[in-house]
Amino acid sequence: MAIVGLRVVPTKGFLLELKRRIEIIKEGYRLLSMKRDELTSRLMELLEHYKAVKKEVMGRAEKIVTRFREIYALLGPETIDANASINRGVLDIDVLPLSIMGILVPTVKALREVSVKNLFGPVIREIVYDLVELFQDMIKVTEIEMKIELLATDLERTNRIVNALEKIIIPEMESVAKYIEDMLEEEGLEEFLRVKLIRNIIVARRGE
């Protein structure tokens, strides 16, 4: 009989070592299930937040895009094209790692905000300001999406480990421990019977 990566030796010493291991694994299992519960709760919170933020941002985006199309039609493609060129490549961001339950998730920090101040003429500036705001909100939505994705991946992994521990590894180790115990008990009984038999033989010989 064997456990993954471990050759079973039915000895008392091995049984003690195995029991110690089972205790450690059970402690790990307890901690991992706590992590799983915490991750689930964090993930649920984030999902709720994400749903609310995304609904708001997407609603606004829809309005802004509709408005943009109107302004596009009003000013013509040339004016929009020329103005779109004015403000390129001015957003600097830094992605910093933030630890949630030991999982590193990205946090976006704007080093240099998009500045459209003093740049645009009438009519176009109305939509430019809205678009800049929307762009920053989109970054926030992406940040939350990324957090959710990373937490969900980790939750899936943790869940798999917890399930493996709960359903396979711990029961398997416990059954091995039980098997060793049974073997040892059997060996003990055999030894006892052997001793008793020998004692009887010795007693019988002395009686002769």
Residues near another protein, by CB under 8 A = 66-67, 69-74, 76-79, 81-83, 85-86, 88, 117-123, 125-126, 129
At 11, phi and psi to the nearest 5?
A: -125, 165
CB 139 → another protein: shortest distance, Å?
Answer: 21
Contact 90, 115 (CB under 8 A): yes
With respect to another protein, which residue has the nearer C-beta, 64 or 144?
64
CB 161 → another protein: shortest distance, Å?
Answer: 51
With respect to another protein, which residue has the nearer C-beta, 34 or 84?
84
Q: Which residues contact 53 (CB under 8 A, 6 or more apart)?
A: 137, 140, 141, 144
With respect to another protein, which residue has the nearer C-beta, 79 or 159?
79
The SS3 assignment for 165 reads: helix
The SS3 assignment for 99 reads: strand
* CA dihedral of 104, 106, 111, 112, whole degrees rounded to 10: 180
CB 70 → another protein: shortest distance, Å?
Answer: 6
What six digits make up the tokens of 155?
A: 């939750």
With respect to another protein, which residue has the nearer C-beta, 70 or 190?
70
CB 69 → another protein: shortest distance, Å?
Answer: 5
With respect to another protein, which residue has the nearer C-beta, 127 or 176?
127
CB 126 → another protein: shortest distance, Å?
Answer: 4
Sign, CA torsion 161/162/165/168? negative
